[in-house]
Amino acid sequence: MIRNSKKLLKNKGPKQQSVTDQNTKSRETLQKDFQQNVNMFRSIYLDCSDVIFRSFRIFGQMDAMIIYIEGLTDTDLLDWNVLSPLMKMEADEAEPPGIDWIKNHLSISDTKKVNLVADCIESISAGRPILLLEGELYALSFGLTKFEKRSIDEPEAEKVIRGPRGGFIESLQVNTSLLRRIIKSPAMKIKTMTIGEYSKTSVSLIYIEGIVSPPLIEEMESRLKRIKIDGVLESEYIEEMIEDNPYSPFPQFLSTERPDVVSASLLEGRAAILTDGTPFALIAPVSFFTMLQAPDDYYDRYIIRTLIRWLRFVFLFAALVFPALYVAITTFHQEMIPDALLISIAAARENVPFPAFVEVLLMELMLEALREAGVRLPNQVGSAVSIVGALVIGQASVQAGLVSAPMVIVVATTGIASFMIPRYMFGYSIRMLRFPLIILASVSGLLGIMLGILAIVIHLSGLRSFGAPYLGPLAPLKTSDLKDVLWRAPMWKMDTRPHFNKETNINRQAPHQEPGPERGGRD
């Protein structure tokens, strides 16, 4: 065993050395020696069976080679627009053949000259084949990328009754085009950079010039550029690397799959981050109240959506403190319960061997386990297992005398209340904070709940999302922005953008657009 481990350690050296050599080669430039360039790329892509090296001759006299990755390149277009013309064309005696001559005679619009080996590797990895030519210091990179991608469907987690049905997919190019279909102005800027030493993931920072605050873009761009990581597989990697407070349980980015939500945020002066390989976009800055706004709020009648938003606030509070209130009142403050209800609760808990705190903890943990199991199971059975499992376990627990019937009602009401939160990750935060409040309630009753809520409010008051107060516009108070916080004002009243964008273009529409037949001719 010891000898074998020594052999493994000895064999690790050359592999590590080969990686170092490849990193060194990627910083070099192409040479005029054609065979030297070919050998260098073959050594870089050693043991890469999906990388194709296709050698041929141009004009019957010039050596050339196409390098591409199978599955990422459109081979039909490559054969038709590159290989076939180059192998059949004849040189013009008046103009000596070279890389510029070949570039001008190929019917491919997206063609680039590259000189650095790193640029060649990046092109090949992105599905862009490169053409190496004999005696040339440059190679040609062709925009012939083609890979499988899913169709544009409505996001499963962000369905709306009325509104656009399209959602982002895993292709960055498709996602940016979806935004361009909505916002057609050239003022919408897209800055793309590559993050990840090995994954080389394309990440785009998107904003509307003239609306967004320039310091916000400078800060976001600075944070993105300082990320040094092996690979980025999902936008969560980016979120955790650039958020203001990494130890906060509350999300400081809005994560969404909907192009209309991103477009609306851009028009409010926010910025978005799109990551190749994931359909989830990140939006910043955000606030506590942003997390309680759903796309439906702006696609339905404002009176109805205001009522639903008030319901959302009520059930948010219930999802956070309802179990803790039950524990505090039944353990320390029985005088707050009406006599008839107190007798009913006492009768239901007569045969239960556990205190209220243990009851709540057991039922809440079981509820979270059922919810997580429903997420992991296939869609066809996930929801059925969650509902049936909750009913069966709740009924069996009551009949077995492990928990009381009022406790099942409390936990079920709390679970329904948590479903009212439109943003899934924000709902996670509320569900997580529920447990510390239950513990405080079991120790100090209502005083413990008040201390816990006070600690949460203090934390939220100091929290920032790229400099924007998380409790804004309530703290600090901006009365002009309350029209889209505690209620949803009609569209003709939302003539200014949110408070964090006050130093730039604050007006989003013309004033005095209240509809009505008697106001039709008013300026």
C-beta of residue 75 within 8 angstroms of C-beta of residue 54: no
- The conformation of residue 428, written as its DSSP 8-state character, comes to H
pLDDT score recorded for residue 151: 87
Please provide the distance, in angstroms rounded to a whole number, between the alpha carbons at the two ends of the chain: 89
> Which positions ≥6 away from 363 have C-beta within 8 Å?
394, 397, 403, 407, 408, 411
Q: Which tokens go with 433?
A: 């904070």
pLDDT score recorded for residue 383: 61
pLDDT score recorded for residue 17: 46
Q: Max alpha carbon distance in the chain (Å)?
A: 106
Residue located via tokens 């998107």: 206
pLDDT score recorded for residue 353: 87
Q: Which tokens go with 506?
A: 């604050």
How many angstroms separate the CA atoms of 361 and 381, rounded? 27
> Which positions ≥6 away from 43 have C-beta within 8 Å?
21, 22, 25
How many angstroms separate the CA atoms of 102 and 91, rounded? 10
pLDDT along the chain (523 residues), means of 10: 44 47 65 92 93 88 91 91 82 61 86 92 92 92 87 87 91 94 95 93 95 93 95 95 94 95 94 96 94 91 92 94 94 90 87 88 86 72 63 76 86 88 91 94 95 96 93 85 86 82 74 74 48
pLDDT score recorded for residue 106: 87
**Which sign does the torsion angle of CA 229, 230, 232, 237 carry?**
negative
Phi then psi for 145, rounded to 5 degrees?
Answer: -70, 140
DSSP alpha helices (H): ranges in 352-467?
356-376, 379-400, 405-418, 424-444, 446-462
**Sequence letter at residue 424:** Y
Q: Which tokens go with 510?
A: 């013309």
Apex 301 CA angle, 296 and 306, nearest 5: 75
- Residue 468 forms beta bridges with which residues? 465
pLDDT score recorded for residue 66: 95
pLDDT score recorded for residue 2: 42
- Residue 114 forms beta bridges with which residues? 139
C-beta of residue 37 within 8 angstroms of C-beta of residue 31: yes
